[in-house]
């Protein structure tokens, strides 16, 4: 007869063999559209892993093991088609008013707020000082805007031709370029997100006193996640994950340095 130790060893080996033969339950893959939207997402098409979206995805993956969040490069105009065709399951840092109304989706309040603000160049010495009333009337002023963005002052119409004809706008794909246009006198006003301006001034401290920042806000960005109806994760489940990041302090750690406000989510 086998000894008790030998019998126990055989049983342990058998249990290990069974567990190895059984496939582990794989995490559900959730594809997040990554469109260039600094400082949230920075040049994802170039493989860059900088910006707030990669940090958020890493925090979501570290929080749990049921879902694996991955970033799929897209663009501001292309993200709608990628969403409808199922290339991405989710768009983050969105607003249902930004072209999503006719597209079936579930939106999840992320409890994050940013703002779009106006920036002009301060007048050099010897010229009349610009005050906050400079931002009241945009008529006759040259605007530098980010191509594809929906601005409230333009009734959220993002068509380049409309913005050029009605608001004397130059459209680029770079907030840095738009601010340089203002600093060099090639544009009168640039519109940037408060979070981006905060980051820009940290990188360019010498120009801070050359810029006049508006008290006027074009719009408050109340961020939502937009989910496909067939996404691997439900809106309710994603909302719970975001609450988990609020509870463990990761949301504050990621977004507070960029002056992005963490606000209460109704019903949470």
DSSP 199-259: HHHHH-GGGGGGEEEEEEEEEEEEEEEEE-TT-SS-HHHHHHHHHHHHHTTHHHHHHGGGT
Average pLDDT over residues 120-132: 83
CA distances from 212 to 2, 117, 189 (A): 86, 11, 10
Where would I find the H helices in 64-204? 79-84, 160-167, 175-183, 194-203
pLDDT of residue 54: 94
pLDDT tens, residue by residue, 227-242: 999 999 999 999 999 9
- Topology of domain 28-113+222-262 in CATH is D-Maltodextrin-Binding Protein; domain 2 (3.40.190)
For residue 8, name the pLDDT band (cuts at 50, 70, 90): very low
* Residue with the two structure tokens 């010229």: 127
Question: Fold identical between 28-113+222-262 and 115-220?
Answer: yes
Per-residue pLDDT tens for 68-122? 999 999 988 899 999 999 999 999 999 888 889 899 999 999 999 999 999 999 9
DSSP states of 107-135: EEEEEEEEEEEEEEEPPPTTSPPP-GGGG
- Determine the topology of domain 115-220 in CATH: D-Maltodextrin-Binding Protein; domain 2 (3.40.190)
Name the pTM for this structure. 0.77
Q: How many CB atoms sit inside 10 A of residue 264's CB?
A: 9
Query: Where in the chain are the domains?
Result: 28-113+222-262, 115-220
> Is pLDDT above 80 for 198?
yes
pLDDT of residue 247 exceeding 80: yes
* 106 vs 127: which has the higher pLDDT: 106
User: Rounded CA gap, 74 and 188, in Å?
Assistant: 31
């Amino acid at each position: 007869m086998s000894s008790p130790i030998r019998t126990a060893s055989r049983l342990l080996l058998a249990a290990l063999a069974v567990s190895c033969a059984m496939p582990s339950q794989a995490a559900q893959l959730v594809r997040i559209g990554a469109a260039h939207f600094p400082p949230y997402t920075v040049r994802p098409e170039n493989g860059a892993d900088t910006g707030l979206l990669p940090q958020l995805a890493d925090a979501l993956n570290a929080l749990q093991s049921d879902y694996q969040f991955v970033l799929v490069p897209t663009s501001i105009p292309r993200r709608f088609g990628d969403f409808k065709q199922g290339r991405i399951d989710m768009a983050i840092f969105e607003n249902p008013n930004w072209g999503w109304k006719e597209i079936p989706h579930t939106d999840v309040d992320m409890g994050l707020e940013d703002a779009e603000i106006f920036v002009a160049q301060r007048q050099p010495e010897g010229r009349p000082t610009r005050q906050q009333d400079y931002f009241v009337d945009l008529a006759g002023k040259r605007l530098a805007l980010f191509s594809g963005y929906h601005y409230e002052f333009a009734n959220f119409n993002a068509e380049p031709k409309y913005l050029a004809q009605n608001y004397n706008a130059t459209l680029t794909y770079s907030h840095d370029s738009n601010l340089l246009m203002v600093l060099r006198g090639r544009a009168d006003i640039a519109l940037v997100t408060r979070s981006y301006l905060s980051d820009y001034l940290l990188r360019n401290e010498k120009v801070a006193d050359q810029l006049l920042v508006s008290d006027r806000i074009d719009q408050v960005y109340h961020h939502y996640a937009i989910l496909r109806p067939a996404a691997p994760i439900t809106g309710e489940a994603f909302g719970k994950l975001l609450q988990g990041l609020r509870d463990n302090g990761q949301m504050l750690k990621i977004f507070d340095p960029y002056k992005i406000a963490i606000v209460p989510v109704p019903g949470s």
